[in-house]
A = this chain, B = another copy of it.
Amino acid sequence: MTSSDRYGPTRMKDVASAAGVSMTTVSLVLNDKAVGIPAETKQRVLDAAAALGYRPNALAANLRTRTSDTIGFVSDTIATTPYAGAMIQGAQDAAWKAGKLILTINTNGDPAVEAYALNALLGRQVEGIVYAAMYHQMIEVPAAAKEVPLVLLDARSADSEIPSVVPDERGGAYEATSHLISHGHKRIGFLKNTASVPAANERLEGYREALEANAIAFDGELVVAGDSGLAGGYAAAMALLVEPHRPTGLFCFNDAMAAGAARAAHELNLRIPDDLSLVGFDNLELVAPFTNPPLTTMQLPHYEMGVWAVEQLINRIDGEDFSVFHQRMQCPLVERASVGPPPTRT
């Protein structure tokens, strides 16, 4: 019944002949560039397109316009962290708002895969690339990635020309420590982790700065390192809590360590928050709310970072904004029930 008895989806040509106009007219109408086309013709085109169930072939349009409305999302690892979801969600929401789709690839940290992946993305004419790490780290970006606008997500590069967004670790640590101080704590321990990641050093700095700002002397003995899991937190906390002059508050590198600290406290018959106050970091959605008592902690702004990265990328794609090169995203405090005033006698 259609004008051409061809197998396959309807093309613009089909719409054109159905409406009795040229392809040019159809294109103009469908893209709202129909400046001099009378409403009657316009409607005829629209009707024909609807009747035929016409769906433009984006590949063809993109080829001609040399665009793709697609951005690449390259990550080293997706599955092994619970943070990934929020970051991707943020990135997608921002992309969606700008009418762009996201091509995702995760490389599992394999440089060969990475090179191949970048080629695949660039071959598909992605307009920009978000390069995401699943925890705050320094990375080296392959040269190929720099062929299009590029933004680093939860990672930084030695190349300062590449915009990046990471959590404000120092600020978060500062606020966490200040939170304890504001409740009256003076002896505050820091459970740091042994790994040498940016987060570790910066959170320690934030802790120190908060003490300093409140005229509390930094005491190296109150900083104990452990591995960043529950066991490490348990061990580190235990070391501090058995001391006679033990701290009344603990700022922990992350929620897992905080959970370990809580376990140590339970074993020592210290009640939380009555005898010991605890602040974690990360706000793990399935951990922090469910410790006993629920853990006060700092939220890692993964969603917001994802949004920022894509927005920034799109600004660069549009050639609008090149000003901000390095964003530190604030980590908000999530108050639950693990912080209270210190016990009256220490």
Instruction: List residues of A (194-252) whose CB comes within 8 Å of B's CBs.
Output: 230
Tell me the smallest distance from the CB of A291 to a CB of chain B, in Å: 10
Asked if A122 CB lies within 8 Å of chain B CBs, one says yes
Q: Map CB proximity to B onto A47-65 as digits: 1 under 8 Å, 0 otherwise.
A: 0000000011111101100
Query: What's the minimum C-beta distance from A134 to chain B, rounded to whole angstroms?
Result: 9
The residues in A between 54 and 91 inclusive whose CB is less than 8 angstroms from any CB of B are 55-60, 62-63, 68, 70, 78-82, 84-86, 88-89
Cβ proximity bits A114-131 to B, threshold 8 Å, 1 near / 0 not: 000001111111000000
Determine whether the beta carbon of A79 is less than 8 Å from that of B263. Answer: no
A120 nearest CB neighbor, chain B only: B101
Q: How many copies does the complex hold?
A: 2
* In the assembled complex, A277 has its CB within 8 A of some CB on chain B: no
- Shortest CB-to-CB span from A3 to chain B, Å, is 20
Give the residue of B59, B62, B79, B123 whose beta carbon is less than 8 angstroms from that of A55.
B123
B-binding residues in A (CB < 8 A): 55-60, 62-63, 68, 70, 78-82, 84-86, 88-89, 92, 96, 101-106, 113, 119-125, 230, 256, 259, 263, 284-287, 290, 292, 303
25 pairs from A and B in contact (CB 8 Å cutoff) = A56-B123, A58-B120, A58-B123, A58-B124, A63-B63, A70-B103, A78-B92, A79-B85, A79-B86, A79-B89, A79-B303, A81-B85, A82-B286, A84-B85, A85-B85, A92-B106, A96-B113, A101-B103, A101-B105, A101-B124, A102-B104, A104-B104, A263-B292, A286-B287, A287-B290
Q: Which residues of B contact A103 (CB under 8 A)?
A: 70, 101-103
Give the residues in chain B near A121, CB-CB below 8 Å: 101
Closest to A80 in B: B85
Q: How far is the CA of A230 from the CA of B290 in the complex (A)?
A: 7
Partner of A88 from the list B63, B104, B259 (CB cut-off 8 Å) is B104
- In the complex, residue of chain B having the shortest beta-carbon distance to the beta carbon of A284: B286
* Residue of B whose beta carbon sits closest to that of A267: B292
Distance from A78 Cβ to chain B, minimum over Cβ atoms (Å): 5
Query: CA A230 – CA B293 in complex, angstroms?
Result: 12
A122 to B290, CA, bound (A): 42
Q: Are B285 and A287 in contact (CB under 8 A)?
A: no
- The reply to whether A85 and B92 form a contact with Cβ atoms under 8 Å apart is no
B82 with A78: CB separation less than 8 A: no
Which residues of B sit under 8 angstroms from A56, Cβ to Cβ? 123
Closest 6 CB pairs of A and B: A79-B89, A58-B123, A79-B85, A82-B82, A58-B124, A79-B86
Could you say which residues of chain B place their CB within 8 Å of the CB of A105? Answer: 92, 96, 101-102
